[in-house]
Amino acid sequence: LGIGAAMAMPAQQATTPELVPKAILGPAVALGSLSMNIARSIGPALGGLIVASAGIEWAFAINALSFMGVVAVLVAWCREPDKSTLPPEPFGVALRAGLRYATQATVLKSVLIKAASFF
């Protein structure tokens, strides 16, 4: 579940700027982060109650069902693809550029250090 969440999270976060007007993007990102933190604190307790009362199979079944609404919205979403005039960039090159930016940008470096310290 953790690996799946780690793979899905960047895609989920990338949709926020497309769904929210730029003027309220900051509060929308903060609300998304808040909801994830609430889910991480309440989710294990609810999962434990479900496992204790109904068994592990039901916990996984309810988790799978909870994603059906998200899947339905994503299937129905008709997103216009961005038209880029830039050539495609290989993954490794883009990853190195992102890491280089993260280590050089003072504000981002500060946020990353605080987040790493917290976790």
Q: DSSP assignment of the chain, as one string?
A: -HHHHHHHHHHHHHHHHHHS-GGGHHHHHHHHHHHHHHHHHHHHHHHHHHHHHH-HHHHHHHHHHHTHHHHHHHHH--PPPP---SPP--HHHHHHHHHHHHHH-HHHHHHHHHHHHH-
> What digits encode the pLDDT tens for the residues 56-75?
999 999 988 988 988 898 88
Give the chain's residues under pLDDT 50.
none
The pLDDT of residue 42: 92
The reported pLDDT for the residue numbered 58 is 95
Give the pLDDT confidence score for residue 23 in this predicted structure: 92
